[in-house]
Amino acid sequence: MNIFDIIGPVMIGPSSSHTAGACRLGRVANKVMNNEKPLDVTVELSGSFARTYKGHGTDRALLAGVLGYHSYSSEIRSIFKIADQEGITYHFIPKDIPNTHPNTARIMVTGVNGTKCTVQGASIGGGNIRVDYINGMKVDFTGEHNTILVPHYDRPGVIAAVTNIMWQKYKDVNIGNFKLSRPVKGGIAMMTIEIDGMPPAGMIDDIRSVQNVTNVILIRAI
């Protein structure tokens, strides 16, 4: 436990769960989009998010995160005006998302270059978050560490090839957590790799070059 677990995050209020955590969820979508400017942002809000999002500024915080702002950025207060000036459309839809944490949001972003992403996660208290799905694939990470997402075809040897590259060429990289999501045998699967520190130059490209790897997404600690 550190001091921020006790006193909470530095933030624009009023709520660490409904504002700071919401902004951090939005920032995950920003990272998945690789900072591509959004053209349209649609957010489905479930549970207490759906009931209180206007009063607690959850809508402003989510949109600010998608646009790349931090939980402490003063721009959160005027983010609707900023989005309007930049021609970004945004929609907030209360919706029951079954079997989820009470503070759950599903963020759907379309970028100016046509890139699309969907991020679903929850604000779990004190500004902390848990990311549950990226583009429909099950994941499980908090954003506290640099996270590498590796969507790939479920074929023998792909996981070994990725981890061998990291071990053989980048021995100083320490894997803090590794999880695999495989909804259908032989289909698209997702590796979630949390690492200590930043990935060295070249590592992401080397992983991307592995046969049957379809993409590599680096989400820097938020």
Q: What is the predicted pLDDT for the residue at 127?
A: 84
Is the pLDDT at 3 greater than 80? The verdict is no
Phi-psi map region of 114: left, alpha, beta (phi>0 left; psi -120 to 50 alpha): left
Q: What is the predicted pLDDT for the residue at 18?
A: 55
Calculate mean pLDDT across residues 126-146. Answer: 92
pLDDT tens readout for residues 27-56: 999 999 988 999 999 999 999 999 988 888
Calculate mean pLDDT across residues 81-94. Answer: 98
Q: For residue 115, what are the CA distances in angstroms to 90, 108, 120?
A: 16, 11, 17
Calculate mean pLDDT across residues 171-189. Answer: 93
CB count within 10 Å of CB 115 equals: 15
Is the pLDDT at 15 greater than 80? The verdict is no
Question: Per DSSP, what are the bridge partners of residue 175?
Answer: 195
Chain mean pLDDT for the chain: 90
Q: What is the predicted pLDDT for the residue at 101?
A: 93
Q: For the full predicted model, state whether its pTM sits above 0.75.
A: yes
Is the pLDDT at 11 greater than 70? The verdict is no
Q: What is the predicted pLDDT for the residue at 130?
A: 95
Calculate mean pLDDT across residues 143-171. Answer: 96
Q: How far apart are CA 187 and CA 131, in angstroms?
A: 22
Coil/strand/helix, residue 165: helix
* Helix (H), strand (E), coil (C) string for 11-33: CCCCCHHHHHHHHHHHHHHHHHC
pLDDT tens readout for residues 90-133: 999 999 999 999 899 999 999 999 999 999 999 998 889 999 99
Q: What is the predicted pLDDT for the residue at 126?
A: 80
Calculate mean pLDDT across residues 192-205. Answer: 95
Q: What is the predicted pLDDT for the residue at 112?
A: 97
Q: What is the predicted pLDDT for the residue at 125?
A: 86
Q: What is the predicted pLDDT for the residue at 55?
A: 84
Is the pLDDT at 12 greater than 70? The verdict is no
Question: Which one has a higher pLDDT value, 191 or 11?
Answer: 191
Question: Which one has a higher pLDDT value, 125 or 141?
Answer: 141
Taking a C-beta distance cutoff of 8 angstroms, is the pair 107, 25 a contact? yes
Taking a C-beta distance cutoff of 8 angstroms, is the pair 168, 162 a contact? no
Q: How far apart are CA 153 and CA 144, in angstroms?
A: 27
